[in-house]
Amino acid sequence: MRRSLTVLLLACAALLGAVAPAQAHNVLIGSDPEDGASIASGPERITLTFDQPARQGFAQITLTGPDGTRWEEGKTAVDGAKVSVGVRPLGPAGEYVVGYRILSSDGHPVSGKVAFTLTAAGPGSAQPAAAASASAVPAASGAPAQDPARDPAENPGLSAQAAEAAQNGGAGMAVVWIAAALVLLGGATVVAMRRTRERTEAP
């Protein structure tokens, strides 16, 4: 009984160590332009505000026009709880849909959309849309590679951790350790299982 209690206490001690890293799920609480807004002239940037900071990297915002053309420009920037992207001068009047997919602070992707209506046609033309949408994809997938360096002030703990991990060989080293452990344990499993089978069959 006492040994069981020790186990329980140790497990609880481990709990206290393990609770810290869990983070919450980001929720969109506001946007500029607002969802459902009608505006006369196109915004320069689209900014989405979440209830808590989003993770660096993996964030992606797109703006799709009334005829399916794309209007966002440049990379999606994460500044704490605000995630924003530049917008080219908008073209035809109608409904524009902002689509987003960000990495929530709990590590889950969170996606959704916000729509606004442009009441008066702007000066922009849809021509570079193909180029914009083509560049958006590599920008999004390229972003994570640079993110620890891009904004060290944003999450000093994380980037320090990443730097430390990089010094030790990072996840690459962990993979080697895991692979070695797998091989060792796998061999031991095969040997032990064979032996028990022999032992149980022998008598």
Which residues, 117 to 146, sit near other proteins by CB under 8 A?
133, 136-137, 141, 144-145
Q: Which among 36-44, 86-94, 119-127, 193-201 is the span making contact with other proteins, rule CB under 8 A?
A: 193-201
46 lies in the site for other proteins, by CB under 8 A: no
DSSP at 50: E
User: Rounded to whole angstroms, how far apart are CA atoms 101 and 121?
Assistant: 28
Cβ at position 72, least distance to other proteins in Å: 8
Q: Which of 8, 48, 58 is nearest to 28 (CA)?
A: 48
Q: How many CB atoms lie within 10 A of CB 199?
A: 9
User: Rounded to whole angstroms, how far apart are CA atoms 61 and 83?
Assistant: 8
Which residue matches tokens 């980001």? 26
Q: Which among 31-39, 86-94, 117-125, 172-180 is the span making contact with other proteins, rule CB under 8 A?
A: 172-180
185 lies in the site for other proteins, by CB under 8 A: yes
Cβ at position 123, least distance to other proteins in Å: 22
User: Rounded to whole angstroms, how far apart are CA atoms 60 and 109?
Assistant: 11
106 lies in the site for other proteins, by CB under 8 A: yes
Near other proteins by CB under 8 A: residue from 80, 89, 107, 156: 107
Q: Please, is 55 exposed, middle or buried when counting C-beta atoms within 10 Å of its C-beta (0-12, 13-18, 19+)?
A: buried
Q: Which among 35-43, 65-73, 86-94, 117-125 is the span making contact with other proteins, rule CB under 8 A?
A: 65-73
